[in-house]
Structure 1
């Protein structure tokens, strides 16, 4: 097992989770910035005497690779790894979208368009059977995971027509070198960003929900798409980690609260990391866990359906979901080494 990009927030969380995994030998972790330096130079909370290795060393030694790299880098590394018989879990956006859609939204030419057809979209709650045994998994991120799971039951039921999604993210979601994340800029401040339909995760959300609308459940990652349009307004909030999404869904038919709750509880009844609440979720309730907390709510006065979702952006929104996909790929119990309980306060 190896990690490329281990000095980013997702890479550090991967190390923490994988070091506690009973079926994993972590043979190496790389960082261009910290190569040759001890792990504690980037992660003082982790106890490991080894140093950051070179990317080539990790590529050579590891049988399974986690690519926790900036967008645009994994598409050049994944083909080499696959040709060498290794398995790959990519935490970037490089294999989540068709190459032409990726290029339009990310502004980067795709170097490995032929691999998209093999890549499995790694949202286990929707694509568990495809992830099993896969060679290449595209691991979705925090906003998309929260918004998709918030609206998936309505899409699978065939009633979702559109949605307005508001996302609130802790600062770690911007990455360790994220622009505009200095303490003086985020402390006691709340700001929207990438509004007006410009956020690159919008097509991912629409495709996820469109698949469900067209196919129901189970759903194929490369199956037909239904038409779903949503607006997405993300906000940066002055906290370290956590995602809270509020989705206002436009749906067909008449609904009441009982029917709505029955739909959600039935849809997620067998899911080990999705909890449907009878109260509103909060980010600290999922801190440190691989869990998503959901609350569907019918606003009786207007007839609108609101769905609230909370998760830890570095666990279920990133590294924990990657380990969940790894467990499925390798035939291990899906919940192995993944926390369901959070940390409080």
Structure 2
């Protein structure tokens, strides 16, 4: 360890001989500062933000160690510095009082070299670990802020041009090409809208604001968004609902993301010329959406399907589909599950609170 890397220790004692002894035992591994009065010790601690540990005598004139400790712990600049009391009094009441004031340990006098060095080493190590953890947390918080700034900027900068593309697409005479462009652009816009929402849900910071949402209308909208792909594969939809409309207590954009995802996945997984069955069922306090398609999820993926980055086709997708659907469902106080029927069909069920 270089001299510049040595931690700094402040020794506070009204007896210079005790300070000299502590300094002699610690100077090889630590910078040692000293004070013989409580007020001086406080000033040194306040002016030296890199002090790693304070060895504080209890019995001092004018201002005792308890008072010094109390002032240090009341000051935001010095409250995190660990304090070890030095005391000739080993009464339980005195020791307990010190811990209540915020001390981390105590050492009895006369000082024993091995005990002093061991206790100091332990608490210096703990302090360094605490500072390292605080730095990691600050770095994570900064990364969160940076990610939000980047994603907000990306969404802002991309939505304008994409909106122009959608507007100009309406002028195309070839409607097949126009619909293909519109579908792709809408998929990009949905991805931009969803990424930050998923991130906030992961962090427990999503501002959920439910309202009356017509589930039947949303499902129709999601089906239309995949109509080109469904038509290409000659896949039809069999939609069954108790009545129209069917209202849920949820957020429209989150729900649209969920059902877009599930319906698109069902179309991609289904063999050509098959039908996808969708049921919307009211159940007391819940409304349940069910979607069943021919084709099954591979056995090895079933236990981790809702985990982050789990995917049956890593070359085509990010693996966030089922994961984000689960997050968005649970963020709205709902439930999502799937089951395999006769190793022939896959059925997803999403339950969301009914709007009352």
Fold conserved between structures, TM > 0.5: no
More helix by share: 2
Q: Which has the larger radius of gyration?
A: 2
